[in-house]
Amino acid sequence: MYIYIGHGDGTKYVSLDFFKNNKINFLTFLFGCSSANIKMFLGNDTQPYGLPQILLFNNCPFFLGCLWNVCLDNIDYFTLNLFNLLFNKDKKVSLLQSIIEIKKEMNLRFCNSSSIVVYGNNDINLYITS
């Protein structure tokens, strides 16, 4: 599991080359503004490109990020509630269902919660033990 909580997508701490040159077979959570943003580069390659594509092309099974800037309190609320659900030892939970439920509870639902997107596997049933 790779978790980044901070500004942007964290590529100033872990380079894009790491993600490009390695098989990414872990869940990826990027809780940063515009961490799932797809950029358009001009030049020889005019295809949209960004960290989500790099991860998915390198076998990342699950990617969660934000498409645009979000309010700090809301992304903190989402992050804490998601991990409280996922690290609950008493039951097996669906990762996507948990994300949907928490997004419904967020303030500014159509602004902040709409920014949070998931790419990858259709559903991951996750149960974490200590």
Task: Count CB-CB contacts under 10 A for residue 127.
Answer: 12
- Bridge partners of 66, per DSSP, are 116
Residues 120-125, mean pLDDT to the nearest whole number: 67
Task: Count CB-CB contacts under 10 A for residue 103.
Answer: 18
Specify the range with the lowest mean pLDDT, choosing from 21-25, 71-75, 87-91, 108-112. Answer: 87-91
CA 123, CA 27: separation in Å to the nearest integer? 12
Contact 9, 15 (CB under 8 A): no
Domain that holds residue 11: 2-126
Task: Count CB-CB contacts under 10 A for residue 64.
Answer: 24
* Residue 130 pLDDT: 42
- What domain count does the chain have? 1
- Record the pTM: 0.83
pLDDT in tens, 37-58: 887 655 566 667 788 888 888 8
pLDDT in tens, 107-120: 877 788 889 999 88
